């Protein structure tokens, strides 16, 4: 695909959800190229959270292209998402006042809990929109918004999929694809890891390792964002035609509702 790159760069598309990523090759040089990345990328690069940013330039069609060092490695496996390295990287992101201030400087979007509900409802297909149980979950989340108000916000990646974690051949861990970065309750990030990659019986141990003290307020936030993220995942799986995975998320939500009724 021609993006009118100068100086002899050749672009080779890399598979992904956005279709905006490329391997750039010029002579013996190889870089990872992405168009219209978050301007927050520079701060993340300095902190060693993403691969090193080499340059940023505006190209012929008006897009902004960023080049990062090309690293040989692989994405993580699901079972690796419980590792101490993942916990350490998330702590580095969520606890950083510097990163939070940098994201504010580039006008990062502040995501209140209501916005997660709106994201789920946006362009929702009819069979999900008319599903009685899913509407019950949405109504519950709307009624309990007060439980998740007033949290201390932090930098949140917004899409903690295992495929966004890159482990290089020399064992360096990076988190990539920051297009959904937001200023939000870090429990929105944490609960996505939990619902996707950690067995429910292991949640307490994971949270203890992360350093979260489970007060009643924290427990309510975890319940709220866990349900919210399961709704979002059910919508994604439905769109992708992955009905088995969608139904698994719905079953987890039903179990959560039944457990609440028996408390």
pLDDT reported for residue 30: 79
> What average pLDDT does this structure show over 78-89?
95
Mean pLDDT of the chain: 90
pLDDT reported for residue 4: 44
In the structure, what pLDDT confidence band is assigned to residue 94 with cuts at 50, 70 and 90?
very high
| Structure token pair of residue 154 | 């932090």
The residue among 230 and 3 whose pLDDT is bigger is 230
pLDDT reported for residue 15: 62
What whole-number distance in Å separates Cα of residue 163 and Cα of residue 81?
10
> What average pLDDT does this structure show over 115-144?
97
Q: Is the pLDDT of residue 18 over 50?
A: no
> What average pLDDT does this structure show over 112-117?
97
The residue among 90 and 18 whose pLDDT is bigger is 90
Neighbours of 36 (CB within 10 A): 13
Per-residue model confidence as pLDDT tens digits over 189-241: 999 999 999 999 999 999 999 999 999 999 999 999 999 999 999 999 999 99
In the structure, what pLDDT confidence band is assigned to residue 7 with cuts at 50, 70 and 90?
low
- Say if residues 26 and 70 touch (Cβ distance below 8 Å): no
pLDDT reported for residue 147: 93
Q: Is the pLDDT of residue 103 over 90?
A: yes
pLDDT reported for residue 262: 55
Catalytic residues: 159
Dihedral pair phi/psi, residue 29, rounded to 5°: -90, 140
pLDDT reported for residue 117: 98
User: Which H/E stretch holds residue 258?
Assistant: helix 243-261
In the structure, what pLDDT confidence band is assigned to residue 85 with cuts at 50, 70 and 90?
very high
3-state SS class at 94:
helix
Per-residue model confidence as pLDDT tens digits over 48-71: 999 999 888 877 777 787 888 988
Pairing relationship of beta strands 165-168 and 73-75 according to DSSP bridges: antiparallel
Q: What is the DSSP letter of 153?
A: P
Structural domains of the chain sorted by starting position, each given as residue range(s) with its CATH number in brackets: 10-70 (no CATH), 83-261 (3.90.1200.10)
> For 96-140, what is the HEC assignment?
CHHHHHHHHHCCCCECCHHHHHHHHHCCCCHHHHCCHHHHHHHHH
> What average pLDDT does this structure show over 10-14?
74
């Amino acid at each position: 695909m021609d993006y009118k790159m100068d100086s002899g760069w050749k672009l080779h598309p890399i598979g992904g959800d956005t279709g905006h990523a490329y391997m750039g090759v010029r002579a013996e040089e190889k870089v990872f190229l992405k168009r219209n990345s978050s301007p927050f990328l520079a701060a993340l690069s300095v902190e060693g959270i993403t691969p090193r940013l080499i340059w940023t330039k505006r190209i012929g069609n008006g897009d902004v292209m960023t080049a990062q060092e090309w690293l040989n490695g692989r994405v993580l496996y699901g079972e690796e998402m419980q590792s101490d390295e993942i916990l350490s990287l998330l702590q580095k992101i969520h606890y950083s006042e510097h990163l939070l201030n940098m994201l504010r400087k580039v006008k990062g979007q502040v995501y209140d809990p209501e916005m997660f509900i709106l994201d789920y409802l946006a362009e929702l297909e009819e069979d999900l929109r008319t599903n009685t149980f899913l509407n019950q979950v949405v109504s519950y989340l709307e009624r309990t918004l007060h439980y998740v108000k007033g949290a201390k916000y932090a930098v949140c990646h917004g899409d903690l999929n295992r495929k966004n974690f890159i482990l290089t051949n020399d064992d360096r861990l990076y988190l990539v694809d920051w297009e959904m970065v937001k200023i939000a309750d870090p429990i929105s990030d944490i609960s996505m890891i939990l619902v996707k990659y950690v067995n429910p019986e292991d949640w307490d141990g994971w949270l203890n390792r992360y350093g979260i003290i489970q007060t009643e307020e924290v427990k309510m936030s975890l319940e709220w964002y866990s349900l919210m993220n399961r709704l979002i995942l059910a919508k994604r799986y439905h769109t992708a035609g992955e009905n088995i995975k969608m139904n698994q998320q719905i079953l987890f939500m039903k179990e959560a509702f039944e457990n609440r009724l028996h408390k």
